[in-house]
Amino acid sequence: MGTPRRTHTLLMEDRTMSIIDEVKSEAKGFNVWNVENAYDFCDKVLSQGDVILNSDHGAVLFAGGIMQLTGKGKIGKTTLLFNILYGVALGRDVLGFKISKPSKILYINGENSPGTIQKLFKSFREYFCIDEEEENKIRENFLFHSAGLRLQKAKVFEEIRGNLGEIRPEILILDPLKNFFSGEENSSDSMRDFMEAVRKLMQEFNLTVIIIHHTGKTQNEDGLYSGRGSSLLADDAETTASFQKDASDKGSFNLSVTGRNCEEFTLHLIRQPERYFLFSLADKPELQPDHVLIEILDSLPSQFKTGAFEEAAGKRGIKRSTCFDKIKILENMGIIKRVKHGLYEKVSPEVQPTIDTGQLDYQKQSENESPEVRSSPDCTTRTVEVADDGRPF
């Protein structure tokens, strides 16, 4: 309860200082700067002091910063970003990024069709099997709007200002840059005007901004970080992440990150063939069963018929037509085995796989649940512990 009050106080102090500065500026006939000193500033409580994305290599993105994500067209930049944004909206660690608390996101889609966006959202919702509390977090914290808005145009800028004032996001995503930028991409002056508009919005609404940008046909000498056109965006951004296919390994990708507050590092990622939308860290590539499949399996006896699985799955919103595929997933992972047609058996009565973020860690769960919950026939009442191993939830 203390954090919202402190944030409100800081915002009120900022507004008060802003009014005082305006009065001074009007009296003097020029904008009076609010000058800080290097010693006392160290102890100042910042209204935007949170780290949005942290890592073992340092802070990747501070609140109030700009991050640029670059990559070739159709490589999967938006899909990768959604993997990360789900974690940010829920306050969960993901793909090696440490996320301390949920943040409110406004994703402005300037490129993908409604069908593409809906398919991605459906895939994530079905896979991650979030509980009721987390459903509300996604509803409140992961918002999107589809439009191409040229920020440098005065009328468009005011439209964006008005909507940001209504929605009040903490993080604004523009995907991709080309549909929000008017002017020549190679022109430093045009890019400077664009970044000036972005900075104005950031200052007024305390925003963190993530911009998706396509790489050109030619890249820099390392083949990293260079977005198409002027380099001013990369120079201005606090962090730049370059997303590329690994030419030596089909289905593998590299996310190379460089920033002002972290060491340069690279995450080696794979795309799970059964789930095109899901990226995993390459050093932990083994597939894991969905959170909900473990719940279903836990509710069944050591031997069960296909019909029993379908009935348990139906109670959790899984369509009967997809149950056979779910059973095959569990069978391929060695968690169950087929005894005969229509009859399956758990390989071990206690299913304890290595759990990804957002899945059930039964070992921790059994240690922490009360005797009343342990004996409850309704497995959905159990405490969910989130594993902190950095893989997608």
Percentage of residues of the chain with pLDDT beyond 70: 74
The answer as to whether 82 is a domain residue is: yes
Give the model's confidence band at 278: pLDDT under 50 very low, under 70 low, under 90 confident, else very high: confident
Say whether both 186 and 296 belong to one domain: no
Say whether both 219 and 346 belong to one domain: no
| Alpha-carbon radius of gyration of the chain | 24
Ramachandran bin of 26, using left for φ above 0, alpha for ψ from -120 to 50, beta for the remaining angles: alpha
Is the pLDDT at 59 greater than 50? The verdict is yes
Greater model confidence, 238 or 280: 238
Say whether both 256 and 295 belong to one domain: no
The answer as to whether 232 is a domain residue is: yes
Is the pLDDT at 54 greater than 70? The verdict is yes
Q: Residue 326: what pLDDT?
A: 82
Cβ neighbours around 154 below 10 Å, total: 8
Give the model's confidence band at 203: pLDDT under 50 very low, under 70 low, under 90 confident, else very high: very high
Q: Residue 285: what pLDDT?
A: 46
Greater model confidence, 332 or 74: 74
User: Bridge-partner residues for 210, per DSSP?
Assistant: 67, 173
Centroid of chain to Cα 372:
36
- The answer to whether the predicted template modeling score (pTM) of the entire model surpasses 0.85 is no
Q: Residue 385: what pLDDT?
A: 38
Greater model confidence, 202 or 362: 202
- Sorted by sequence, the CB contacts under 8 Å of residue 26 that are 6+ apart come out as none
Give the model's confidence band at 378: pLDDT under 50 very low, under 70 low, under 90 confident, else very high: very low
The number of distinct structural domains making up the chain is 3
Is the pLDDT at 284 greater than 70? The verdict is no
Check if the beta carbon of residue 89 is closer than 8 Å to that of residue 125. Answer: no
Give the CATH number of the domain where residue 305 resides: 1.10.10
φ/ψ of residue 39, rounded to 5: -85, -55
The answer as to whether 240 is a domain residue is: yes
Q: Residue 379: what pLDDT?
A: 37
Is the pLDDT at 150 greater than 80? The verdict is yes
Check if the beta carbon of residue 204 is closer than 8 Å to that of residue 18. Answer: no
Q: Residue 45: what pLDDT?
A: 77
The answer as to whether 327 is a domain residue is: yes
CA–CA gap between residue 239 and residue 261 (Å, rounded) = 8
Q: Residue 384: what pLDDT?
A: 37
Give the CATH number of the domain where residue 265 resides: 3.40.50.300
Say whether both 98 and 223 belong to one domain: yes
> Tokens in use for 191?
């890019």
User: Bridge-partner residues for 58, per DSSP?
Assistant: 262
Q: Residue 289: what pLDDT?
A: 57
Q: Residue 388: what pLDDT?
A: 43
**Which residues span the domain enclosing 36?**
2-43
> Tokens in use for 331?
């069978």
For 305-333, what is each residue's pLDDT tens digit? 999 998 998 887 777 777 887 888 888 88
Greater model confidence, 120 or 387: 120
Q: Residue 104: what pLDDT?
A: 97
Q: Residue 367: what pLDDT?
A: 43
Say whether both 270 and 304 belong to one domain: no
Say whether both 62 and 174 belong to one domain: yes
> Average of pLDDT values for 217-232?
58
Say whether both 94 and 155 belong to one domain: yes
> Average of pLDDT values for 28-43?
82
Q: Residue 183: what pLDDT?
A: 78
The answer as to whether 85 is a domain residue is: yes
State whether residue 383 is helix, strand or coil.
coil
Mean per-residue pLDDT over the chain, rounded: 79
> Average of pLDDT values for 175-202?
88
